[in-house]
Structure 1
Amino acid sequence: MRPKLILALLLPAVTAAQPLPRPGLDPAAEARQAVDIRAAPWSSLVRVQTEAGTRCTGALIAPDRVLTAAHCLVAPQTGNPVLASRTHVLAGYDRGEFRAHATAREIRLGPGFDPASRGPFGADWALLRLAAPLPGPVLPRAALPAAGTPAMLAGFQQDRAHVLLADTNCAIAAPLRDEAHRLLIRHGCAATRGASGGPLLVRQGDGWAIAGIAAGAQRQARGGLAVALEGLDLD
């Protein structure tokens, strides 16, 4: 059964006259903090933005490959996927400055993803192949984590879009499957619009690895959904 009370995390391209709702957050308690984009594992995170106006988060899994959410790559005006050449990846982004920039040369959306509906959640992932490699460490993949596994989630979020905000003290709630049996991970990490595509991180040895890709959030509570990396073809 499709999880209820879930909302996509896309950061809108147009500023609204009224404050936008912030799904994925506990309105009574702030669980996020600004983190140093120069320090691991945050230095593997990138800002993904398109000339159609969308802005999200991504993670380097190779110098020339970035994981992000598929709905971040849909033009709001047309409902069509954006062109690879008009998709920009910024490494080391902080307050308008960045360490390096590359455009995509190829975009591969998750099998079964429908740009018109921006779903389903289980297919809401994308692999960007870059026109030029980016510097910085890459993140390894993690096996599907069990419920209760400590986790972290960070992204360039709507309320502070120019700094990287992270929930460093959260956990995996449960793995689950959608109607097409695609693996998802329900988590309790605080993150809102703009964090889409950010890596759901779990411990692996002395470092951190990607267990999932942030895709959706609870409407009025801390936590959300991530697409599990286990079983995805990322080659």
Structure 2
Amino acid sequence: MFRNLMYLLAGVVCALLVSEPLSAQQSALQRLDTADDSRGWDAVGRLNIGTSGFCTGALIAPDLVLTAAHCLFDKTSKTRVAPSDIEFRAGWRNGRASAYRTIRRAIVHPDYNYRSRNGAQRIANDVALLELHHPIRNTTVVPFATQSQLQSGDAVGVVSYAQDRAEAPSLQELCKVLGVQEGVYVMSCDVNFGSSGAPVFTFRNGGVAVVSVVSAMANMDGRPVALGMQLEKPLDDLRHAISAPRILTSDMRLGKGGGRVGAGAKFVKP
């Protein structure tokens, strides 16, 4: 597994393939179409970006949404999307949301480099915080807690939107961490285009907490996998950055992205 993980992060060209049959250790996707289905998950929302793009985000404070940094860049121009062109729709399903919010500021991790070809480094820092113009104070939209690191073999879950499920989120309540390397988790979770920024959850001691964010999808040993970062340190950096508004503007990148290290992977950003 270690050698396969190193190979994945060092330079394999990744593609989404047909997944293998589900094992007893992995659950199928459940579409959250109704209020009952979505109860407890309304703090996951769709991020509408510009006129046609979207990602997934999760509320982790009444005024803060966690997502992937690459969602905030235009794929063609490679430049930052203006915060005013992003909208968070909490609990979006079938044409309605539990709350709609515009974005005041968007803060990308200081070491994230959208143009970097170093796949592991890019994914390890592919995280951003969006500050809402107005906090969401809704009894059905409760911000998620965050927790620290996972270990290989840990069970996790994902709630995400995607190109084939854009109008309602889907829950995969059980997938697994297949390995950890260079600050990146490789997980057996089912993701697709639009799943970028989706929260990865643990279910410990009866509680739910965010432990990673979906950054990319890849192929390892003939099976699709999801890639996300070890969240604790990058999130601490972002919280510190967003607490210092006097030195920031709404469209600043806080620092320069790291240089290329190693061969560089070509990942597919979901």
Query: Is TM-score (shorter-chain normalized) higher than 0.5?
Result: yes
1:31 and 2:36 aligned: no
How many Å apart are 1:116 and its aligned residue?
A: 3.7
In structure 2, the residue matched to 1:164 is 169
Describe the shift of the 1:129–1:25 C-alpha distance in structure 2 as closer, same or farther (beyond 3 A). farther
Aligned-pair CA distance for 1:104? 1.0
Q: How does 1:99-138 map to 2 (within 5 A)?
A: 99-117=98-116, 120-134=122-136, 135=138, 136-138=141-143
Give a deviation string over 1:44-92, Cα, whole Å, max 9, x none. 2011111253201011100100000111111133211111121110012
Q: How does 1:204-223 map to 2 (within 5 A)?
A: 204-219=204-219, 221-223=223-225
Is the 8 Å Cα contact of residues 52 and 75 (structure 1) preserved in structure 2? Answer: no
- The gaps in structure 1 that reach 5 residues or longer are 8-20, 178-182
Counterpart Cα distance in 2 of 1:68 and 1:24: 25
Task: Count the aligned residue pairs.
Answer: 216
1:65 paired with 2:64, answer yes
- Identity rate of aligned residues, in percent? 27
**Match of 1:144?**
149
Matched-pair contact (CA < 8 Å) for 2:161–2:194: yes
Task: Give the distance between the partners of 1:185 and 1:150, measured in 2 at CA.
Answer: 12
Misfit runs of 4+, over 4 Å: 3-7, 27-30
CA distance in 1 between counterparts of 2:133 and 2:47 reads 14
The alpha carbon displacement at 1:94 in A equals 0.3
AA aligned opposite 2:32? V
Find out whether 1:89 has 2:92 as its counterpart: no
Q: Which has the larger radius of gyration?
A: 2
Equivalent residue for 1:194?
194
Q: CA deviation at 1:137?
A: 0.7
Aligned counterparts, 1:43-54, within 5 A = 43-51=42-50, 53-54=52-53
Alpha-carbon RMSD across the aligned residues, in angstroms, is 2.4
TM-score normalised by L of structure 2: 0.72
Shift in CA distance, 31/211, structure 1 to aligned 2, threshold 3 Å: same
Q: 1:3 to 1:157 in 2, by over 3 A?
A: farther
Q: Which runs of 5+ in 2 are unaligned?
A: 1-5, 240-270
TM-score by length of 1: 0.82
Cα distance change, pair 128–25 in 1 and its aligned pair in 2 (3 A): farther
Q: CA deviation at 1:99?
A: 1.7
More helix by share: 2
Residue deviations 1:19-57 (CA, integer Å, cap 9, x gap): xx7x27616669322125743542220111112532010
